[in-house]
């Protein structure tokens, strides 16, 4: 038997150029676009209804999340247990996830049961029920989660982040509380559902062995979704001056949550691609500068990363992690030191090539199979892009130079532009 020699690195091979097939695109009579990712060998079908109407679109705190979480419980005249048993009987999975920009309604079902299952799910979506008992149960669960999460320094640090960087008085800027949860009414849930779940805000995605009969059924179901006006965001990133230091002391904390955050305006797709390379090198994989310094060299943290969240053409870039409370100040200073290095020292070709290889592998995994490709395409579509984004991302990874990274670093890592948020001790 041959054994793998793990002391020797495997050969790294560049992937060959090839054409990524676009999905089949259809449009229902009410204007809803559908995208089909065909695989005749996959009889476990995946469906996603993408609803533009996440938390940034609610007029009142908690409404979006509560709306779709209460809705998914059951159809009118059924209990939650009855509906769960019905879904299980189809061998299916049914989930709703509410994010900042969108709501994902995800369904997985064997092909032989797809027609019946889709009819039941659309019956739920087209005849929504928001019963007082379900709302009360959800509020109890939400408040319990809130009480628990308030003890977590990392959760609190992100509450303070959104409270700092979004426009004052908007729902996203407002920190959640038990009072706000209890104030949400049935009418607010119904109104938000009617505003968000309409033809103007919905896109449909499907992956697997989907025949023409099933596509015809899907089209008929989609055409039943009513019209309304396109929903607009309520909460947006503030352009006003923000505090430089926010510190919430917690005497009992063993670890402190640290967030270093700044705003970026007028972000275009090419800039976002290049920033993705920069942030990966700086703090978004295990071999990054921040991980090598704060974890491997100094032992201040188990993990630290940097990420960006895009809202339209604006973006929040942030570094976040939990560090030993006694070394909090040192950890923050090391983050700043790494920023200074990025602005003054060219990145070596060997380090940059490792990042290129890592990111090209990550990019390939994002389209590995029709279900992954469907998710990737869905993400691109939300930014106004299509499957050609794959090639543009690949070229940005391959072609970015050390000089360009220094240029981006000089713009991004101006320490005076960052707000420092600490929850715990420092």
CATH number, domain at 30?
A: 3.30.830.10
Residue 214 lies in a domain: yes
pLDDT for 142: 96
The three-class DSSP label of residue 408 is: helix
Residue 8 lies in a domain: no
Once rounded to an integer, what is the mean pLDDT over residues 311-333?
92
When pLDDT is cut at 50, 70 and 90, the band that residue 2 belongs to is low
Pair (318, 396) in one structural domain = yes
Pair (30, 168) in one structural domain = yes
Structure tokens at 156: 């609190």
Q: Assess whether pLDDT exceeds 90 at residue 9.
A: no
Once rounded to an integer, what is the mean pLDDT over residues 286-294?
94
pLDDT tens digits, 91-127: 999 999 999 999 999 999 999 999 999 999 999 999 9
Pair (160, 42) in one structural domain = yes
Q: Assess whether pLDDT exceeds 90 at residue 265.
A: no
Catalogue the long-range contacts made by 87-91 (C-beta closer than 8 Å, 24 or more residues apart). Answer: 87/117, 90/116, 90/117, 90/120
Q: Assess whether pLDDT exceeds 80 at residue 13.
A: no
The three-class DSSP label of residue 140 is: helix
pLDDT for 4: 72
Once rounded to an integer, what is the mean pLDDT over residues 148-177?
94
pLDDT for 6: 79
Residue 44 lies in a domain: yes
Other Cβ atoms closer than 10 A to 356:
21
Our CA angle for 404, 405, 408, nearest 5°, is 85
Pair (67, 215) in one structural domain = yes
Q: Which residue has the higher pLDDT, 118 or 253?
A: 118
Residue 310 lies in a domain: yes
Query: What is the percent of the chain where pLDDT is above 90?
Result: 85
Residue 234 lies in a domain: no
DSSP state, residue 237: B
Residue 3 lies in a domain: no
pLDDT tens digits, 314-323: 899 999 999 9
Once rounded to an integer, what is the mean pLDDT over residues 364-385?
93
CA distances to 211, 212, 290, 310 from 155, rounded to whole Å, are 45, 47, 21, 20
End residue of a domain, out of 187, 222, 257: 222
β-bridge partners, 264:
315
Pair (217, 325) in one structural domain = no
CA separation for the pair 37, 387 (Å, rounded): 12
pLDDT for 7: 82
Pair (205, 340) in one structural domain = no
Q: Assess whether pLDDT exceeds 70 at residue 272.
A: yes
When pLDDT is cut at 50, 70 and 90, the band that residue 267 belongs to is confident
Domain ranges, residue 264: 245-424
Strand blocks (E) in 295-418:
301-311, 314-324
Pair (200, 267) in one structural domain = no
When pLDDT is cut at 50, 70 and 90, the band that residue 311 belongs to is confident
pLDDT for 244: 94
Count structural domains, the chain. 2
Confirm if 334 and 292 have CB atoms less than 8 A apart. Answer: no
pLDDT for 152: 94
Residue 231 lies in a domain: no
When pLDDT is cut at 50, 70 and 90, the band that residue 23 belongs to is very high
Pair (251, 218) in one structural domain = no
pLDDT for 14: 72
DSSP state, residue 82: H
Q: For the whole model, what pTM was predicted?
A: 0.91
Pair (189, 124) in one structural domain = yes
The three-class DSSP label of residue 166 is: strand
pLDDT for 8: 83
Pair (174, 306) in one structural domain = no
Pair (267, 182) in one structural domain = no
Pair (144, 285) in one structural domain = no
pLDDT for 312: 79
Average pLDDT, the chain: 93
The closest alpha carbon to 170, from 67, 59, 245, belongs to 59
């Amino acid at each position: 038997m041959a054994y793998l020699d793990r002391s020797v690195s495997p050969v790294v091979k560049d992937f060959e150029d090839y054409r990524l097939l676009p999905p089949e695109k259809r449009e229902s009579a009410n204007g809803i676009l559908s995208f089909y990712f065909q695989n005749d060998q996959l009889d476990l079908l995946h469906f996603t209804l993408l609803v533009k109407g996440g938390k940034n679109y609610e007029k009142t705190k908690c409404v979006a999340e509560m709306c779709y979480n209460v809705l998914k419980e059951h159809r009118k005249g059924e209990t939650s247990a009855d509906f769960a048993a019905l879904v299980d009987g189809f061998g299916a999975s049914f989930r709703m996830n509410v994010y900042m920009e969108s709501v994902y309604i995800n369904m997985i079902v064997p092909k032989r049961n797809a027609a019946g299952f889709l009819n039941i799910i659309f019956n739920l979506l087209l005849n929504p029920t928001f019963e007082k008992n379900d709302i009360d149960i959800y509020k109890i669960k939400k408040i319990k989660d809130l009480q628990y999460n308030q003890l977590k320094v990392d959760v609190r640090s992100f509450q303070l982040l959104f409270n700092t960087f979004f426009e004052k008085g908007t729902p996203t800027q407002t920190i959640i509380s038990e009072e706000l949860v209890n104030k949400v009414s049935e009418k607010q849930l119904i109104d938000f559902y009617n505003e968000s779940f309409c033809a103007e805000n919905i896109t449909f995605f499907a992956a697997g062995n989907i025949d023409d009969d099933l596509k015809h059924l899907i089209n008929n179901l989609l055409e039943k979704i009513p019209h309304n006006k396109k929903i607009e965001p309520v909460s947006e990133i503030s352009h006003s001056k923000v505090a430089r230091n926010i510190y919430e002391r917690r005497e009992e904390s063993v670890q402190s949550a640290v967030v270093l955050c700044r705003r970026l305006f007028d972000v275009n797709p090419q800039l976002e691609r290049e920033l993705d390379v920069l942030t990966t090198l700086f703090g978004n994989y295990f071999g990054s500068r921040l991980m090598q310094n704060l974890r491997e060299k100094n032992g201040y943290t188990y993990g630290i990363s940097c990420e960006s969240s895009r809202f339209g053409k604006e973006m929040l870039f942030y570094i976040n992690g939990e560090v030993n409370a006694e070394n909090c100040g040192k950890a923050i200073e090391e983050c700043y030191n790494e920023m200074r290095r990025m602005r003054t020292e060219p990145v070596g070709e060997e380090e940059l090539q490792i990042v290129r290889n890592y990111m090209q592998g990550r990019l390939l995994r994002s389209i590995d199979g029709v279900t992954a490709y469907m998710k990737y395409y869905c993400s691109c579509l939300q930014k106004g892009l299509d499957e050609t984004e794959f090639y543009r991302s690949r070229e940005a990874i391959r072609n970015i130079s050390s000089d360009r990274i220094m240029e981006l670093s000089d713009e991004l890592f101006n320490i005076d532009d960052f707000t420092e948020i600490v929850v715990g001790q420092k």
